[in-house]
């Protein structure tokens, strides 16, 4: 098939969903054209990796000032800021030209930030003739699939109540009604809508049901978004030496885990991750350190804001040697070594939407995971077998301590988590 992907940010291993889709489809021999936006030199390098897969790239720069200007223009309107943030006229012109020259079989548009491009393409297709020429049998009105990924209004409703940032709560409360109206309307604008989890599907249906009466919508499930869970690339996710040792000789673990580590990973500019990092260090870890003072915390991920960077601390161990108790790494070339070398992975999200890739990635590496119930949407793993779940700071700390002091249970949960990812993702 000849496929057009419109993604408002560069797909890469951090933005795992579009990256995995593109790699998989290109690997299966489909012809892929990617229209996207970049904001950094690193993202330009990421594009080169995609080009090496045989993907045709059409990329436009999106300067920060342009994105901020788009946001300002959206404020006095009824449209959500998210829907305007990534609008770039140069990419619009590129898309118009592609429709004139390429017989696409389907068009895939990602995220709320990309939906406006999908609407533009829909209008362009309506104005094109059905066939390009007398010898052309392929219709040039391909279906447009909008991959919402998450139900953003569902995320904002949680953030407005649970974000640990005052500015974050104010902003999401401002965006919430706009986003609810817009997402409800978008449901009927495309041939198919995709989401990552059943929770997001149900959130979209709740939006639709709130707008339609039972008499006018006798079959509300007919327009339900299709649930397409995220996959996990298991390449390079083999168990580390200390994990293999624990599986065969848990008693030998103490010789390897000289400094137990709890890792929290993700894109740290994301507001839900910011709240989770603060919750982990400020509310959960004091209970852990009271019993295990030598445990270190690693917060791993790009673009940590100032309040996350401020969590980094040093302390002295029992021998008087100064070491880092909380490390904030910022961008790392590969997150897998951090997950593989950690004693436990923590995902203490207070709110969220979609599937939490951080959980799946840690499980894929055989690292036992402790998470909150809110972070398990779309993950059909069994609590207390494939991961541990706790929804209070004290309970979360107790779950961490249970794994920290029990290498046999760490190995058991880690193996079960890995098996789940192999089986389901």
Instruction: Specify the higher pLDDT residue, 207 or 255.
Output: 207
- pLDDT category of residue 256 using cuts at 50, 70 and 90: very low
CA–CA distance from 375 to each of 69, 141, 215 (Å)?
33, 39, 36
pLDDT of residue 253: 45
Which domains, and CATH codes, for the chain?
Answer: 2-227 (3.40.50), 241-424 (3.40.50.2000)
Q: How many residues are recorded in the chain?
A: 425
pLDDT of residue 113: 97
Q: Which of 19, 14, 24 is nearest to 358 (CA)?
A: 14
The stretch 182-199 carries a mean pLDDT of: 95
Instruction: Specify the higher pLDDT residue, 372 or 254.
Output: 372
- Cα within 13 Å of Cα(234), Cβ side: 14
Lowest model confidence (mean pLDDT) among 106-115, 153-162, 316-325: 316-325
The stretch 122-140 carries a mean pLDDT of: 66
Q: Distance between the two ends of the chain, CA-based, in angstroms?
A: 24
Lowest model confidence (mean pLDDT) among 143-147, 152-156, 321-325, 417-421: 321-325
Distance CA 213, CA 171 (A): 31
- 57, β-bridge pairs: 34
Distance CA 208, CA 198 (A): 15
pLDDT of residue 355: 87
pLDDT of residue 91: 98
Asked if residue 117 has pLDDT above 80, the reply is: yes
pLDDT of residue 232: 86
* Tens of pLDDT, residues 338-370: 999 999 999 999 998 888 999 999 999 999 999
* Tens of pLDDT, residues 260-284: 999 999 999 999 999 999 999 999 9
Asked if residue 242 has pLDDT above 60, the reply is: no
pTM, full prediction: 0.83
- pLDDT category of residue 78 using cuts at 50, 70 and 90: very high
Lowest model confidence (mean pLDDT) among 78-82, 99-103, 229-233, 408-412: 229-233
Asked if residue 237 has pLDDT above 80, the reply is: no
CA–CA distance from 46 to each of 33, 332, 337 (Å)?
15, 14, 20
Q: Return phi, psi of residue 379, to 5°.
A: -110, 115
Distance CA 65, CA 206 (A): 36
What percent of the chain stands above pLDDT 90? 76
Q: β-pairing, 322-330 with 313-316?
A: antiparallel
pLDDT of residue 249: 52
pLDDT of residue 87: 98
Asked if residue 215 has pLDDT above 50, the reply is: no
* Tens of pLDDT, residues 138-165: 456 899 999 999 999 999 999 999 898 8
Instruction: Specify the higher pLDDT residue, 187 or 244.
Output: 187
- pLDDT category of residue 319 using cuts at 50, 70 and 90: low
Asked if residue 3 has pLDDT above 90, the reply is: yes
Torsion, CA 247, CA 421, CA 43, CA 105, rounded to 10: 160
CB 396 within 8 A of CB 424: no
Distance CA 46, CA 309 (A): 25
Asked if residue 115 has pLDDT above 60, the reply is: yes
Instruction: Specify the higher pLDDT residue, 4 or 235.
Output: 4
- pLDDT category of residue 328 using cuts at 50, 70 and 90: very high
Distance CA 187, CA 225 (A): 8
Element housing 353 (H / E)? none
CB 53 within 8 A of CB 65: no
């Amino acid at each position: 098939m000849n496929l057009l992907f419109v993604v408002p940010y560069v797909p890469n291993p951090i933005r795992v969903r579009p990256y995995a889709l593109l790699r998989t489809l290109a690997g299966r021999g489909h012809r892929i054209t990617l229209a996207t936006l970049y904001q950094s030199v690193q993202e330009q390098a990421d594009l080169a990796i995609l080009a090496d897969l045989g993907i045709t790239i059409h990329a436009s720069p999106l300067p920060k000032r342009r994105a901020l200007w788009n946001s300002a223009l959206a404020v006095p309107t009824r449209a959500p800021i998210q829907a305007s943030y990534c609008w770039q006229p140069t990419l619009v012109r590129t898309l118009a030209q592609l429709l004139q020259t390429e017989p696409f079989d389907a068009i895939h548009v990602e995220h709320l930030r990309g939906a406006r491009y999908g609407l533009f393409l829909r209008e362009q297709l309506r104005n094109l003739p059905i066939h390009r020429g007398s010898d052309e049998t392929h219709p040039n009105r391909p279906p447009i699939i909008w991959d919402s990924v998450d139900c953003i209004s569902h995320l904002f409703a949680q953030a407005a109540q649970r974000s640990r940032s005052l500015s974050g709560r104010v902003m999401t409360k401002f965006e919430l009604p706009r986003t609810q109206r817009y997402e409800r309307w978008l449901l009927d604008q495309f041939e198919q809508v995709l989401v990552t989890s059943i929770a997001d599907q149900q959130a979209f249906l709740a939006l639709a049901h709130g707008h339609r009466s039972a008499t006018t919508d006798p079959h509300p499930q007919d327009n339900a978004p299709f649930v397409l869970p995220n996959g996990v690339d298991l390449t390079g996710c083999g168990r580390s030496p200390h994990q293999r040792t624990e599986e065969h000789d848990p008693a030998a673990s103490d010789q390897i885990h000289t400094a137990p580590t709890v890792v929290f990973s993700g894109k740290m500019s994301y507001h839900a991750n910011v709240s989770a990092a603060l919750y982990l260090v400020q509310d959960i870890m004091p209970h852990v350190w009271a019993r295990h003072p030598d445990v270190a915390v690693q917060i791993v991920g790009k673009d940590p804001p100032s309040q996350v960077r401020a969590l980094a601390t040093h302390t002295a161990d029992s021998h008087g040697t100064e070491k880092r108790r909380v490390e904030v790494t910022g961008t790392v070339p590969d997150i897998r070594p951090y997950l593989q070398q950690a004693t436990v992975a923590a995902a203490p999200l207070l709110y969220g939407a979609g599937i939490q890739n951080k959980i799946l990635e840690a499980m894929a590496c055989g690292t036992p995971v402790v998470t909150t119930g809110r972070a398990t949407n779309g993950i059909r793993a069994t609590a207390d077998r494939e991961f541990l779940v706790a929804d209070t700071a004290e309970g979360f700390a107790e779950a961490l301590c249970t794994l920290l002091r029990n290498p046999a249970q760490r190995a058991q949960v880690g193996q079960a988590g890995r098996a789940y990812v192999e089986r389901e993702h």
